[in-house]
Amino acid sequence: MELVARIALNAATYAIDKPYDYLVPPQLADRLVPGMRVIIPFGPGNRRTEGLVLALEEAAPAGVALKPVLTILDEEPVLDGQALKLALWMRERWFCTVYDAARAMLPAGLYYALQDRWKLADGVDRETAYEAAGKSEHARRVVEVVVSQADGADVATLRAAFGDKDPNPALRLLRDKGVLTLETSAARGVGDKTQQVAVLAIPPEEALAQVVPRRRSAPMRCAVVELLCALGEAAAKEICYFTGASMPTLRSLEKSGILTLEKREVYRRVAVEGVEPAVRPILNQEQQAAFAGLDALASAGKAAVALLYGVTGSGKTQVYLNLIYEALARGKSALVLVPEIGLTPQVMRLFAAHFGEQVAVLHSALRAGERYDEWKRIRSGKARVVVGTRSAVFAPLKDLGLIVLDEEQEASYKSENVPKYHAREVAKFRCVQQGALLVLASATPSIETMYQARQGIYRLFTLTRRYNQRELPPVDIVDMKEELRQGSGGDLSRPLLAALEEGAVRGEQSILLLNRRGASRMVTCGECGEAPDCPRCSIHLTYHSANGRLMCHYCGHSQPLPDACPHCGGAFNFIGAGTQKVEEELREALPGREILRMDADAVSATHSHETLLGRFEAENIPVLLGTQMVAKGLDFPNVTLVGVISADQSLYADDYRAGERTFALLTQVVGRAGRGEKGGRAIIQTFTPDNEVIRKAARQDYDGFYAQELALRELRGCPPFRDLFIITASGRLEGAVLRTCMRLRRTLEGWLALPAYREIHAKLLGPAPAAVARINERYRYRLTLACANTRPVREMVAALLRAAQTDKENKGVSVSADVNPLD
C-alpha cells in the first residue's frame, strides 16, 4: 500500500481547484500530517509550487504513477482539522480556492517565498555541459549563465540574459539530457525570535566559591555570578546591561562550567502602556438581565447567535467583559472583533486591564513579527482572549466559547479581496464547530441582523438606557440652505462655530465628522467647465491642499494642480469640502485653538490612531476633526459637542444601503457626546433637513428607521428578503468585457430555464457598469442575480465561473463572483 496525500495547490486557479493526489515518499511518511504545507511538482513542466495537505490515505498503487511530495515546509501543522473544514466551507461559500481560504487564516510571517534555481547536475562539469548543448546557441547561452552564477541561476536572471527570447526550450533540452537540475528553495517571511539565556550550571555555593576569591582580578565574572545566584537564570542581554559585563565574560564562565548559555524563543509583543489592573465591572439591572440571558446561552455548550442591541453608551462592553470572565472560568477562550484598527488600542488597554497576559491582539497594522508571535501565543494556549479586526476571526483559539462582533453592522467586516468573506458568517461557522456563542453587538444593527432577531432566528437582548443613566445628547439640525440665505457660505455653520468656541472657553472638547478626506471633492474650470479626471479610472480627481496635488482615491494616481485650466487657461473653482479644507476654516475661525485632524492622510506609522487619540485626550485638544474613524467606539468624558458636516453626502449614493450607512454613522457619532458628567449636545449640518433618515438619526429612533427601511428592502427585493450574487467581468478592453458579460447572461438564462433550477425563482439584471466603471485601467461590468442563497444557486454560480475561466473567447477578461457585496 502507498501513502497518498490529498493536496490543495497554491498554483491552481479556481477553474481547476480540487484536491490533487501525490505520493508520499517513505522518508517523509512519518513526519507528514494534514495541515502541513509542502512543495510539490505541478503541471507538464513540473513547476515547483506550494501545497496544503488536506488528508492522507493508504491506497493501492494507481495505474498512473503519482508525482512525489518533494519537501515538507512546516515542522508541525499550521492548520488543524477544524480550520481545514473551514477552508473547504469558504471555498464553496465565496468562490475562492481552498489555498486562498487557508492563506487568509495564516499570519504573513508564515508565508513562504519559493525560488527556483537551475544548477549543473551532480557530476556534470562545464565542458560536459557545453558538449551536451551541442550546436544550439540558446542551450550554450543557458550553460554560460548557469555556470557564471555560484549558486545557480534563477528564472529572472535567465530571462534577462535572453531578452525577448524564451529560455524554456533550451532549459528543457538540457534537463532531459541530465545536464541541468531544478532546485527550489523556500524562505519564510519572518523567523522565530530567540534570545540567549544564562543559567547556573552548578549550585550557587559552588559558583560563588569559584569566583569570589578572584573578585579583584575578575570583578565582572563575580558580578555576573552573584546576579545569577539571586535570579537562577536571566537573559544574557539583561545580565550585560545590569552588570556592565560583555558576552566574552559570559562565554568564559560557560567554558569554566559555571553557567550554560541556552537559546530560547521569545515573543515579540505589542506594548500596552499605562494599564492598571481592573476589577470585574458591576452591572446595572438592565445589563444584568441581558448578561444572565447571554451567559445561559454560552454555558449550554450549543451553538447560538444573539443580538445585543443597546443605545450608544448603554454599557454593552461591560456585558461582554462579564461574559468573558465566565467563559474563562469554564475553561473556554474568547474572541472580540472591532471594526476599525483605530479602536484596537483603546479596547486592548481595557481588556489588558481585566485579563492581563491572557490577551493577544491581531490586526493589519502590527509588524509581521508581532503578528506572527501573537498568533503563536494564541495557538499555544498562552493567550485565551483575542482582540482584533476582521482577520482575527481566524485566530487559532482552542476551546472557543465566545465570539463578540462589536458594531456588527460595519462594512469593514466584509473582505474586498479574495476570499471575499464576511467575518460574521465565518464567526457563525466557528461557533457551530465548537458549540460557542456569537454575540452581535450594536446601537444600529444591520437590517439583516435585526430581521433575523425579530424573526426569532437570533436571540434578542436590549439595553434601552445609558449605563450612567444620563440622557442621550439633544440634537440640533442646521439647514445649510438657510445659512446660505443668511450670507454664511462656509462649510461650518454659525451655530456650530459658536458651540465650538463656547466649549473651548469652558475647557471642553468637540468631535467633528466629515466623511471625506482631502480638501475639495473636485476642481472645475470656471470658463469651460472641465474637471481633471484620473487617467486610469472613470472618476474626478480630489484636490489635497496639504501637498497641492490632485489625487485618485481608487488607484493612487497623483499629479500637481495646474496653475490654470490646460484646455482654455481659465481659473479653477473648488467644489465640495474635505477634512483638509475644513481644518483650514477651523484654524481661521478659532485662532489660537489647536485642531487635530484624523483621516487616512494624517494617520501614518509615526502618527498612528493610538498616538493621535492619546494626544487628543492627554493634551485636552479642543477639536478633533476626522472621517468615520472618529465616529465609533471612542469614549472621552470631556467631549461635550459633536458636529456632523455634510450629513447628507452619503445619503444619495447609488446603493440600497446608503440610508442604513448614513443612519448608522450619524447615530454612532452623536453618541460620542455627553458620555461624562458634563452632558453634551450634537449639531447636524445638512442641505436636506426634512429627510426622514436624518431626522430619525437625530432622534436616535432606530425602530422607526428599521420599519421604514425594511419596507423599502422588500419592495426592491434586497437583503434580507433576497440575496444578491454579483458576477463581475473586468478587463482592459471595454468591448471584450461587455461581450463576456452578455455571454454569461445568456448562459445563466439557459440554465435557469432547466428543470433543475426552476425552483430558484431568480431575477437576473444586467450587464451594467459598476458604480465606478473603470479602475486602474480595467473596465468592470456586472450581472446581478437576486435570489435565495442556497447550495444549488452557489453550485450554479461556481459552474458559471469555471466555464468562464476556461472559455478561450474570454481571453484578457477575468470573471469573479461575490455574495451581498458592500460596495
pLDDT digits (tens, 9 = 90+) for 700-709: 899 999 999 9
> 766 — phi, psi (to 5°)?
105, -175
Residue 736 is predicted with a pLDDT of 97
pLDDT per position as a tens digit, 262-294 = 887 666 666 566 678 899 999 999 999 999 999
Among 162-176, 285-299, 602-616, 660-674, where is mean pLDDT lowest? 602-616
Q: Identify the residue with better confidence: 649 or 750.
A: 750
Burial of 553 (0-12, 13-18, 19+ CB in 10 A): middle
Under the banding of pLDDT at 50, 70 and 90, the label for residue 601 is confident
> 616 — phi, psi (to 5°)?
-60, -40
- Residue 728 clears pLDDT 70, i.e. is over it: yes
User: b/e string for 664-679 if b means 16 or more Cβ within 10 A?
Assistant: bbbbbbbbbbbbbebe
Tell the residue number behind the cell numbers 510571517, with chain if given.
109
Residue 242 is predicted with a pLDDT of 77
Helices 204-211 and 219-231, packing angle to 10 deg: 170
Under the banding of pLDDT at 50, 70 and 90, the label for residue 653 is confident
User: b/e string for 112-150 if b means 16 or more Cβ within 10 A?
Assistant: beeeebbbbeeebeeebbeebbeeeebbbbbbebbbeee
Judge contact between 16 and 49, C-beta under 8 A: no
Among 128-132, 579-583, 727-731, where is mean pLDDT lowest? 128-132
- Residue 31 clears pLDDT 90, i.e. is over it: yes
Torsion sign across C-alpha atoms 484, 490, 496, 497: negative
Could you give the 3-state DSSP secondary structure of residue 91?
helix
CA R_g for the chain: 31
Could you give the 3-state DSSP secondary structure of residue 539?
coil
Residue 265 is predicted with a pLDDT of 65
Q: Identify the residue with better confidence: 373 or 32.
A: 32
Can you give the three-state secondary structure of 502-524, one letter per residue? Answer: HHHHCCCEEEEECCCCCCECEEE
pLDDT per position as a tens digit, 757-768 = 888 889 999 999
- Residue 592 clears pLDDT 60, i.e. is over it: yes
pLDDT per position as a tens digit, 491-533 = 999 999 999 999 999 999 999 999 888 777 789 988 888 999 9
Distance between the two ends of the chain, CA-based, in angstroms? 52
CA dihedral 635, 641, 646, 651 (to 10 degrees): 50
Strands, E, within 178-314: which ranges? 180-188, 194-200, 233-235, 259-265, 304-310
Residue 240 is predicted with a pLDDT of 84
Query: From CA 274, how far away is CA 27, in angstroms rounded?
Result: 53
Residue 276 is predicted with a pLDDT of 81
Residue 112 is predicted with a pLDDT of 79
pLDDT per position as a tens digit, 64-120 = 789 999 999 999 999 999 999 999 999 999 999 999 999 999 988 888 777 788 888
Judge contact between 184 and 114, C-beta under 8 A: yes
Percent of the chain clearing pLDDT 70 (strictly above): 96
Helices 447-454 and 702-716, packing angle to 10 deg: 100
- Residue 637 clears pLDDT 90, i.e. is over it: no
pTM: 0.84
Q: What domains can be seen in the chain, in order of their start residue? A: 2-111 (3.40.1440.60), 115-188 (no CATH), 194-265 (no CATH), 285-463 (3.40.50.300), 475-519+577-713 (3.40.50.300), 723-819 (3.30.70.600)
